Amino acid sequence: MAAVEHEQVARPRPGTKPERAVWDAAAQVTDPEVPVLTVEDLGVLRAVRLVDGTPVVDITPTYSGCPAVDAIRDDIVAVLEERGWSGARVNVVLSPAWTTDWMSDAGRRKLVEHGIAPPARRAGGVVALGMGVRCPRCGSLHTRELSRFGSTSCKALYVCQRCREPFDHFKEH
């Protein structure tokens, strides 16, 4: 898939001006569990439309049990309220299922700065097992998975064999 086309799937920002304004406002809401990432960076923000002047926003959960979804929903309603749109509705849509391939490059960079190893890109390919995850602190590829499950649904726990520090890895999904 071409990069531009892929970006359009990951971040379907609407074409009309008033809807773009709603999108841009909702896009600023961050994930409460990974506060450096916005819902736009994550690819969690799926669609925005105005129905009789009321914003309707579609979001998709990263994982089925992700508790951040409820907080994100409230935050989107609140941020739109601040900008003068009252009574916004937020729908949770499950299809198409979220994938880490929708995470933006900016989001990946912010994760590294935050000490979290970003997910590898998978678009169109297969993830090889045991591929190196780079330590976000020292950059070493000499790292090891401690546990497939970490501090949140979307992360695994790793340890760096060089600087000896544990770190979170945002799992490819």
Instruction: List contacts with another protein (CB under 8 A).
Output: 51, 54, 56, 61, 63-67, 77, 87, 89, 91, 93-98, 146-151, 153, 157, 173
Beta carbon nearer to another protein, 87 or 139: 87
Q: Is the peptide bond before 166 cis (omega within 30 degrees of 0)?
A: no
Residue 69: CB minimum distance to another protein, A: 9
Nearer to another protein, 60 or 110 (CB): 60
* Shortest distance (Å) from residue 88 CB to another protein: 10
- CB proximity list for 109: less than 8 A, separation 6 or greater: 118
- Of the candidates 6, 85, 93, 88, the residue with the CA atom closest to the CA atom of residue 45: 93
Q: Which is closer to another protein, CB of 110 or CB of 160?
A: 160
Residues 6 or more apart whose CB falls under 8 angstroms from that of 47 comprise 12, 14, 57, 58, 93
The 10 Å Cβ neighbour count of residue 56 is 16
Closest distance to another protein from the beta carbon of 161 (Å): 17
Nearer to another protein, 99 or 104 (CB): 99
Q: Label residue 13 exposed, middle or buried (CB < 10 Å: 0-12, 13-18, 19+).
A: middle
73: left (phi over 0), alpha (psi -120 to 50) or beta: alpha
Q: Which is nearer to another protein, 110 or 156 (CB)?
A: 156
CB of 109 to another protein, least distance (A): 25
Q: How far apart, in Å, do the first and last CA atoms of the chain sit?
A: 18
Task: Name the minimum Å distance from CB 53 to another protein.
Answer: 13
